[in-house]
Amino acid sequence: MTGLLTQAEGDPVAIENGDAKGDFLFVCEHASSRLPERLGTLGLPKEALESHIAWDPGALAVSRLLAGKLDGTLIHQRFSRLVYDCNRPPESDAATPVVSEVYEVPGNRAMSAAERQARVDEIYLPFHETVSEFVAARKAVGRQPILVTMHSFTPVYFGKSRSVELGILHDADSRLADRMLAVATTGEVAYDIRRNEPYGPADGVTHSLIEYGVRHGLPNVMIEIRNDLIRNEVGQRVMADYLGGLLARSAAALPKK
Ligand SMILES: [Zn+2]
């Protein structure tokens, strides 16, 4: 058995405000840059381990503020997406990337089949089960969660600047995304906000939306925030205020089930 996490490292998944009265379920797959001790640095330099390839800077902080504001539940992954990207299924090579943007990840290239399986078993499956069980438990008592997966993206990718500030992403079910885009582009427009940018379903980024939302008929959306906007606490609060209002208004406009 190739163990990955030590007992001291604890549970890979964290739930906050699990008995929330509100219906929003915030999911943050790329919340942390932490690596399990047993993996060392994966052969990466410090600047890579702190960069967007390891995590989504600011996403957890904004998710926490939103869960507080809207009395929602937050479920997040406590380890880096370089170990296992919880927004990808086990059969995807992108779940344990050997190259991420401009960085090679030597520790992912050198991995044995057993080592990769340990990442699936100890990082992905507990996450997948926790979110799935939460959704099932809510549905069992007649409640319908509204799934919001929270991400941030780098302002410069492969040397190219991105002008989009907020991405509203969806897969087959665009009910919530449509309403958010309609609300956000009515009256004064606060941000450069776009549908399925800077990524979309074709990039394989809607795994969580499909698994935890579409599959269960839940309204769902993936939010991508350009990370320079949420670099510090002030920016995070401004963004959470904006998104909190946008989500509340958009959810209120959904047809009653
Ligand atoms: Zn992300």
Whole-number pLDDT of residue 84: 98
Centre of ligand 1 from the C-alpha of residue 151, in Å: 4
94: tokens are: 């992108």
Whole-number pLDDT of residue 2: 57
Per-residue pLDDT, averaged over 69-89, amounts to 98
Residue 187: pLDDT band by 50, 70, 90 thresholds? confident
Whole-number pLDDT of residue 102: 87
Whole-number pLDDT of residue 257: 59
Centre of ligand 1 from the C-alpha of residue 2, in Å: 27
220-226 vs 146-153, strand pairing mode: parallel
Residue 110: pLDDT band by 50, 70, 90 thresholds? confident
Centre of ligand 1 from the C-alpha of residue 29, in Å: 7
Per-residue pLDDT, averaged over 86-101, amounts to 95
Centre of ligand 1 from the C-alpha of residue 45, in Å: 21
3-state secondary structure at position 127: helix
Centre of ligand 1 from the C-alpha of residue 141, in Å: 31
Per-residue pLDDT, averaged over 8-33, amounts to 97
Per-residue pLDDT, averaged over 229-250, amounts to 98
61 and 30 Cβ atoms separated by less than 8 Å: no
Centre of ligand 1 from the C-alpha of residue 4, in Å: 22
Per-residue pLDDT, averaged over 159-176, amounts to 96
Centre of ligand 1 from the C-alpha of residue 95, in Å: 12
Averaged confidence pLDDT in the chain: 96
Centre of ligand 1 from the C-alpha of residue 126, in Å: 18
Whole-number pLDDT of residue 255: 81
Centre of ligand 1 from the C-alpha of residue 10, in Å: 22
Centre of ligand 1 from the C-alpha of residue 80, in Å: 11
Centre of ligand 1 from the C-alpha of residue 1, in Å: 30
Centre of ligand 1 from the C-alpha of residue 152, in Å: 6
Share of the chain above pLDDT 90, in %: 95
CA 112, CA 2: separation in Å to the nearest integer?
10
- How buried is 113 (Cβ within 10 angstroms: 0-12 exposed, 13-18 middle, 19+ buried)? exposed
CA 211, CA 10: separation in Å to the nearest integer?
25
Centre of ligand 1 from the C-alpha of residue 8, in Å: 26
Per-residue pLDDT, averaged over 169-180, amounts to 97
pLDDT of 55 > 80? The answer is yes
Superfamily in which the 7-252 domain is placed by CATH: Zn-dependent exopeptidases (3.40.630.40)
CA 37, CA 224: separation in Å to the nearest integer?
29
* pTM for the whole structure: 0.97
3-state secondary structure at position 18: coil
Residue 42: pLDDT band by 50, 70, 90 thresholds? very high
Share of the chain above pLDDT 70, in %: 99
- How buried is 183 (Cβ within 10 angstroms: 0-12 exposed, 13-18 middle, 19+ buried)? middle
Centre of ligand 1 from the C-alpha of residue 225, in Å: 9
pLDDT of 49 > 90? The answer is yes
pLDDT of 41 > 90? The answer is yes
Centre of ligand 1 from the C-alpha of residue 222, in Å: 9
pLDDT of 250 > 90? The answer is yes
Centre of ligand 1 from the C-alpha of residue 153, in Å: 7
